[in-house]
Amino acid sequence: MVVESLAGFVDLHAAAPFVAAALAFYFLVEQLSYHRKKGPLPGPPLVVPFLGSVAQMIRDPTAFWDAQAARARKSGVGLAADFLIGRFVVFIRDSELSHRIFANVRPDAFHLIGHPFGKKLFGDHNLIYMFGEDHKDLRRRIVPNFTPRALSTYTAIQQRVILAHLRRWLDQSSANGGKAVPIRVPCRDMNLETSQTVFAGPYLKKEARERFEKDYNLFNVGLMALPVDLPGFAFRRAREAVSRLVRTLGFCVRESKARMRTGGEPECLMDYWMQETVWEIDEAKKVGLPPPAHTDDEELGGFIFDFLFAAQDASTSSLCWAVSALDSHPDVLARVRAEVSSLWSPDSGEPITAEKIAEMKYTQAVAREVVRYRPPATLVPHIAGEEFQLTEWYTIPKGAIVFPSVYESSFQGFPDPDSFDPDRFFSDVRREDVVYKRNFLAFGAGAHQCVGQRYALNHLVLFMALFVSLVDFRRDRTDGCDEPVYMPTIVPKDSCSVYLKQRCAKFPSF
């Protein structure tokens, strides 16, 4: 019926050649535009109209990004080009070129986006998209969240959560007859509870936590989905979930402000942040000024969500790779166990203190090597706000999405980079953490370098210390089990399947 009606207005057969010509013209223009932007960079000779290589990226992200790295390496220029959903993209393998991107995050150069379609997904109140003095001011406000005193508060919380989950893992292992357990999802659940408790503390009630977990799962699915912002699609569900998550965290901010005004002791990251914030708000009010920037409840909730996003899947990745590496390297495992046992015993009835963590020098070296060897967030996408001359012979065009690869940087410079070798960060003679510092980009660089990296490394050290002391474990090794796959950060292909058994006589409780 519709076709018949249209036929009354348009001769479809006569129009067909014009439609075909228009499509051919669009295809030609797109190919010419792509080749003009690509210039001398290696990349596909032809790209699928509008979609480009997005199907390959979603179907097998690991293979897609490996292919980009191989092109950049083979060409010798450290760069590669491609096309994704109407956007020209540049992959950067070379560490020094990546540093140029990180050092030029500003309105007239590069905009950090965190995800190719991050602005739509993460919402407006986001630390990722800030620049200049505004960004510096906000980071100044964040500093009290990661002082030694604050980190000590978080250490106590982290241990309680880790212990509860390790107990649960062991019980589940016994219940299923000692079969191997994939720990990626259990690690993720543990990290979500840890992040919720460390960041939002007592303000996130049980019902809110349950809703929070469902919404965070929707958000994670949306990260890996096509950016179709229509009802019923995963991307739209993820956007709606983020809005709910931010509102929930905004309510928590309001409660924290109220308790900090009454002189309460900080119990979580939000409290440390709000201590200074409420003082600044009240001082401004006394002299008749509006509240300082970035002190609105929901806006702060958005910033707290940034912390959750940064801590959640990245930490899950690192914990899985740590377990895999310790199993693969019995000598490293033995040294970690010896160091931890010299400083702490499960029989002591006491938690591991922040001071004890600081003394675990070798375990800290293992944590840093885990992050170098398998950087969780392998790519840090930026958009070129303006044309930018990256090298003498190549200018990144305005609007291009640029992907500096911190993963590829981790395998440059360091001697024998494909070997897992914690001594590179432990030996006073080698001092590779200093000599090759510019290649260690797992936490980024420049103005947007990860502000919580000390917290992230402490969490990894604390987990390893408790795990190796309380659990005997063995990987269920199968072909390709340790190949990295994107979930959305990289994890072992088999989700790190392990056999678990209690190691200590009495499980600690504190």
8-22, 180-194, 329-343, 379-393: least confidently modelled range? 8-22
> Residue type for 237, please?
R
pLDDT exceeds cutoff 70 at 1: no
What's the burial of 11, exposed, middle or buried (CB within 10 Å: 0-12/13-18/19+)? exposed
> Residue type for 258, please?
A
pLDDT, tens digit, for every residue of 176-221?
898 999 999 999 999 989 999 999 999 988 888 888 888 888 887 8
pLDDT, tens digit, for every residue of 322-361?
999 999 999 999 999 999 999 999 988 899 999 999 999 9
| CA-based end-to-end distance of the chain | 73
pLDDT score at 220: 79
Query: DSSP for 409-447?
Result: HTTSSSSSTTS--GGGGT-TTT-HHHHTGGG--TT--GG
**Mean local confidence (pLDDT), 282-308:** 90
Model confidence at 3, pLDDT cuts 50, 70, 90, reads very low
Cβ proximity of 131 and 105 under 8 Å? yes
pLDDT exceeds cutoff 60 at 9: no
Structure tokens at 227: 């950016």
pLDDT exceeds cutoff 60 at 7: no
Cβ proximity of 304 and 271 under 8 Å? no
> The pTM is what?
0.90
Cβ proximity of 75 and 393 under 8 Å? no
pLDDT exceeds cutoff 50 at 6: no
**Mean local confidence (pLDDT), 62-81:** 94
pLDDT score at 361: 97
Nearest to 393 by CA among 33, 32, 37, 39: 39
> Residue type for 498, please?
V
On the CB side of 96, CA atoms within 13 Å amount to 5
What's the burial of 29, exposed, middle or buried (CB within 10 Å: 0-12/13-18/19+)? exposed
Cβ proximity of 315 and 198 under 8 Å? no
User: Rg for the chain (alpha carbons), in Å?
Assistant: 25
pLDDT exceeds cutoff 60 at 23: yes
pLDDT score at 29: 83
Structure tokens at 261: 């005004």
On the CB side of 478, CA atoms within 13 Å amount to 11
pLDDT score at 2: 47
pLDDT exceeds cutoff 90 at 5: no
On the CB side of 168, CA atoms within 13 Å amount to 12
CATH no., domain 1-114+383-409: 3.30.43.20
Question: Who contacts 255 (Cβ-Cβ below 8 Å, separation ≥6)?
Answer: 203
**Mean local confidence (pLDDT), 276-294:** 92
pLDDT score at 125: 64
